[in-house]
Amino acid sequence: MPQSVKMKTLEDFRAGELILIDKPFGWTSFQVVNKIRWVICKHFKIKKLKVGHAGTLDPLATGLLILCTGKMTKKIELYQGMPKAYSGSMKLGSTTPSFDLETDIDKTFSTEHINEELIHQTAEFFKGEIDQIPPIYSAVKQGGKRLYKIAREGKEIEIKTRRVQIDTFRITKIEALTLDFDVVCSKGTYIRSLVHDFGKALNSGAHLTSLRRVAIGNYQVNNAMDIEEFIGQLKES
């Protein structure tokens, strides 16, 4: 069952509350934070309240977003460091500059040599500690500037690799060139990059077509509210 905000007071939110939100498709994590902050401030007729999120989700991804209010924002790094669990889909045989559907397909590749055995064998190579290059269309900072801003300026840059931990990478369904998968990974992992690198390891290409974060540590998306549920419960409190 989703968590409840009923009977929460302004003092509760200032002292520190953990809010589990099921982020909708198309929203940035920053937009969700702004909306929840605005709703709480409007409800209690106050001008400001500290609200932050514990781990960004891309606009095209959905799922669990942990929000911290008031004094709980001091513990954001604790939640950011927890393992993340995702379910998603990818398309083999083509790539995009953003590694997902934010940008159009730029290259296509042969897939005739790919079979189920090769797919499952290749997935095994992406378990454990791996080096990963974040997508150029990402909020990672390099040289003091966000990578996506550099990408939009059309500039080329050598992106630094980062080491991440993949605890689980399991292909759960294969239907023609579309693969469904589950991932459990460390902080800082880009699933878009994982999919892109998986396509290269198959001597082909791949891009992410959908992604949903289902858990952060022991916190589950099944216990999260959508934004409208949060607003409705707050009005009833």
Active site (catalytic) residues: 58
Environment class of 7 (CB within 10 Å of its CB; exposed 0-12, middle 13-18, buried 19+): exposed
In sequence order, the 6+-apart residues with CB closer than 8 A to the CB of 7 are 237
How many CA atoms within 13 Å lie on the side-chain side of 104?
A: 1
> What DSSP element (H or E) covers 11?
helix 10-15
DSSP string, 194-212: HHHHHHHHTTS-EEEEEEE
Helices first, then strands: H and E counts in the chain? 7, 13
Picking from 10, 39, 8, the residue whose alpha carbon sits closest to that of residue 226 is: 39
Helix (H, G, I), strand (E, B) or coil at 55: coil
Q: What share of the chain is helix, strand, coil (3-state, %, to 5)?
A: 30, 30, 40
DSSP 161: P
